[in-house]
Amino acid sequence: MLSAEENKSSFPGVPPIPHDIRALLLDDSNFDRARIRRLSQKTELSIHLDEVDSIEAMDIAVAKQNYDLILIDYRLPVGDGMEALHHVLSNDGNKDAGKIMITGDGARQTAMQAMRGGYHDFLTKEEMDAQGLRDAMLNAVGMARQQQQLMLQATQHREFLRQGLVAALQDSDVQGSVVSLVRRNMAGTGDRFNEMIGRFDATDVDALLAGLDDEDDFVFH
């Protein structure tokens, strides 16, 4: 999907923007699709733009192709931009693509809903020009790639910590310390405690890490 040649991202530490951007545009208006296509050709970005006119057609497109960027019109004959977003987020190959909502009005509430829901940027058709489209495209792709990198780092940190805990719990001295600590905090539980200790394994380590991930975000982020 990505070219070997890539542009530098404006986000520090983020992988560079792909030189060739594979994009998908969902808009039911032939006129608006043609206008956005013309503007995209003036952005000085190398963009391969596929076009669809319905959520159903979009589902077919994302099932066949992984995209770097997906632009979605909010107002559609069937469904809307938020429903379309849900379909994209449910597609493993495209859930991490940059996503831009396009609408015919500049309603602040619509923009806020879009950004909270998972869009990376927001454009209005009335105010859209080549420079604004370029900026939104670069921003959306850059933010999406940044999120992918953060998720990968979190997964790597989690696995590193899991392996460390598993290795530590195999050490007899560490086991003794853990058992003593837990015993002090579970005084009075009797046989249930001994049974739990006897069943503690790597699966329990994963459960422990899940709890840490929920409550202590700084461990993984």
Task: Name the pLDDT band for 17 (thresholds 50, 70, 90).
Answer: low
Token pair 């392996």 in the structure block, residue: 163
Report the relative pairing of strands 69-73 and 98-103 from DSSP bridges.
Answer: parallel
Single pTM value for the model: 0.66
The predicted-structure confidence for 31-64, as pLDDT tens digits, reads as follows 999 999 999 999 999 999 999 999 999 999 999 9
Distances (CA, A) of 113 to 101, 117, 147: 10, 6, 19
> Could you tell me if 1 and 68 are in contact, meaning their C-beta atoms sit under 8 angstroms apart?
yes
The pLDDT of residue 148 is 77
Q: Give dist(CA 17, CA 9) in Å, integer.
A: 5
Tokens of 66: 């992984």
Q: Which residue has the higher pLDDT, 189 or 128?
A: 128
The pLDDT of residue 43 is 94
